[in-house]
């Protein structure tokens, strides 16, 4: 039996969902996260158990690093990071609250622990494989944005974390690549700044398995949903401005900003909206778009960029998400508002069909199992 350890963080539920369906395929799979994700499905284990404090968290981190180094099977590092936190060139906001000597001590500890973790992945390397999945800001560089978005603050936001040379984020990626046997990216634009051997992998979402077209709302007010997890990346100010313009022109439309809610409460909000706007900057959709498509709701998102070359052509052809940017958003919203019941039903059916074809966690888990076996077949471990 293949054993899989997903760690050290889960974003967008992807590691938790993969682990669940790997278990259904007969694998021994667990998901360990540094901390609880209030907006997602709970992990199997947490480093910070019951807010146990910094010292205990670090003790559990050390235990997890030793556990990963001795693991027989697959260690799957998610969200493009090591178990040890990586400190970039610029200080984290939380660091600024600490005296300078403390900041230096923390960074020294993290640097030594990271190098130790990296070396330990070489221990018993004939009995395990290291998989790494990148998701977004864990790999993105300024060159992904500088040409198009110099004026909206996004480039400055990236630079503040990694410097104009992208030194920090490139160093972290090089260290991960050194230990990785297989690399995935859940967002195609990242493949522009990842090694050539990296591969696009669609999000795995359980929403696919429970997809249903909800009854269309007959109310006079049209409700647009938007989840501004990162307002600059999402283009939230653009969304707000466009909705205000529509209202000033007499359209009965309301913007529902969905943020800071539990997964259950956010789901109820998605069920009430008529349209969801994902983002207008990055060039690809997130897992929330999939959850909304699973309800039969239309989704608008900016879909563009060189990264699309890494996406299967058929997947792009099947994509039911309405493409828009800042210059076309108003037009696309009004077009969707004018759709009749038949047209909305057809769009909803396309969305659910797309989910089942490309984001079914059972299919994605089978693809990962195939990759696990391929890498492990050359190691001193049985692949049943």
User: Which of 256, 251, 222 has the alpha carbon at shortest distance from 239?
Assistant: 256
What's the Cα-to-Cα distance from 130 to each of 48, 65, 85, 145, 284, rounded to whole Å? 24, 13, 18, 30, 27
What pLDDT, on a 0 to 100 scale, did the predictor assign at position 240? 96
Q: Which domains does the chain have, with CATH numbers?
A: 3-204+361-376 (3.40.50), 207-358 (3.40.50.2000)
- Angle, nearest 10°, between helix axes 329-337 and 236-248? 60
Q: What is the pLDDT along the chain (384 residues), one digit of tens a residue?
A: 899 999 998 888 999 999 999 999 999 999 999 887 767 778 999 887 777 778 888 899 999 999 999 999 999 999 999 999 888 777 766 777 788 888 889 899 999 999 999 999 988 888 999 999 999 888 888 766 545 554 445 555 554 554 555 788 889 999 999 999 999 999 999 999 999 999 999 999 999 998 999 888 778 899 999 998 878 778 899 999 999 999 999 999 999 999 888 888 999 999 999 999 999 988 899 999 999 999 999 999 999 888 899 999 999 999 999 999 989 999 999 999 999 999 999 999 999 999 999 999 999 999 999 999 999 987 766 666
What pLDDT, on a 0 to 100 scale, did the predictor assign at position 218? 78
User: What is the spatial distance between Cα 58 and Cα 63, in angstroms, rounded to a whole number?
Assistant: 9
DSSP assignment letter at 89: S
The three-state (H, E, C) secondary structure of 243-277, written as one string: HHHHHHCCCCEEEEECCCCCHHHHHHHHHHCCEEE
Angle at 111 between CA 109 and CA 114, to 5 degrees: 105
Alpha helices in the chain (DSSP H): 14-24, 54-69, 100-120, 154-162, 167-179, 231-234, 236-248, 263-272, 287-293, 313-318, 329-337, 341-358, 361-376
Q: What is the largest CA-CA distance in the chain?
A: 69
What pLDDT, on a 0 to 100 scale, did the predictor assign at position 346? 96
Q: Which residues of 140-168 are buried (b: 16+ CB within 10 A; e: fewer)?
A: bbbebbeeebeebebbebbbebbbeebeb
Q: How many CB atoms lie within 10 A of CB 24?
A: 11
Phi-psi region of 7 (alpha: psi -120 to 50; beta: other; left: phi over 0): beta
User: What is the spatial distance between Cα 131 and Cα 124, in angstroms, rounded to a whole number?
Assistant: 15
Cβ atoms of 215 and 371 within 8 Å: the answer is: no
For the question of whether the overall pTM of this predicted structure is more than 0.75, the answer is: yes
User: Which of 231, 315, 217 has the alpha carbon at shortest distance from 275?
Assistant: 217
Phi-psi region of 51 (alpha: psi -120 to 50; beta: other; left: phi over 0): left
What pLDDT, on a 0 to 100 scale, did the predictor assign at position 69? 94
User: Which of 85, 71, 67, 76 has the alpha carbon at shortest distance from 31?
Assistant: 76
DSSP assignment letter at 125: G
Phi, psi of 209 (to 5 degrees): -80, -15
Phi, psi of 75 (to 5 degrees): -105, 115
């Amino acid at each position: 039996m293949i054993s899989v350890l997903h760690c050290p963080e889960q974003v967008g539920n992807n590691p938790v969902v993969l682990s669940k369906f790997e278990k259904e395929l007969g694998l021994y799979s667990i998901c360990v996260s540094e901390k609880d994700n209030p907006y997602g499905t709970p992990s199997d284990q947490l480093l910070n158990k019951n807010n146990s404090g910094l010292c205990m968290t670090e003790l559990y981190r050390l235990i997890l690093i030793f556990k990963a180094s001795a693991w027989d099977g697959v260690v799957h590092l998610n969200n493009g990071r090591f178990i040890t936190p990586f400190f970039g060139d610029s200080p984290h906001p939380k660091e600024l609250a600490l005296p300078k000597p403390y900041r230096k001590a923390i960074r020294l500890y993290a640097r030594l622990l990271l190098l130790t973790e990296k070396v330990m992945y070489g221990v018993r390397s004939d009995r395990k494989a290291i998989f790494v999945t990148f998701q977004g800001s864990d790999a993105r560089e300024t060159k992904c944005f500088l040409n198009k978005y110099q004026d909206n603050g996004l480039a400055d936001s990236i630079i503040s974390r990694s410097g104009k040379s992208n030194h920090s984020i490139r160093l972290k990626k090089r260290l991960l690549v050194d230990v990785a046997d297989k690399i995935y990216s859940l967002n195609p634009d990242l493949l522009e700044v990842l090694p050539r051997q990296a591969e696009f992998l669609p999000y795995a979402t359980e929403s696919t398995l429970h997809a249903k077209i909800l009854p269309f709302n007959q109310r006079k007010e049209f409700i647009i949903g938007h989840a501004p997890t990162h307002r600059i990346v999402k283009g939230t100010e653009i969304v707000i401005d466009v909705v205000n313009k529509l209202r000033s022109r007499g359209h009965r439309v309301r913007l529902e900003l969905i943020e800071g809610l539990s997964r259950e409460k956010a789901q109820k909000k998605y069920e009430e909206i008529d349209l969801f706007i994902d983002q207008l900057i990055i060039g690809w959709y997130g897992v929330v778009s999939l959850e909304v498509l699973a309800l039969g709701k239309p989704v608008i998102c900016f879909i563009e960029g060189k990264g699309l070359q890494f996406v299967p052509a058929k997947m792009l052809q099947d994509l039911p998400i309405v493409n828009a940017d800042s210059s076309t958003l108003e037009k696309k919203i009004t077009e969707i508002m004018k759709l009749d019941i038949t047209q909305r039903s057809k769009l909803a059916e396309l969305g659910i069909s797309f989910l089942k074809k490309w984001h079914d966690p059972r299919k994605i888990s089978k693809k990962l199992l195939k990759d696990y076996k391929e890498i492990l077949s050359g190691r001193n471990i049985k692949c049943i």
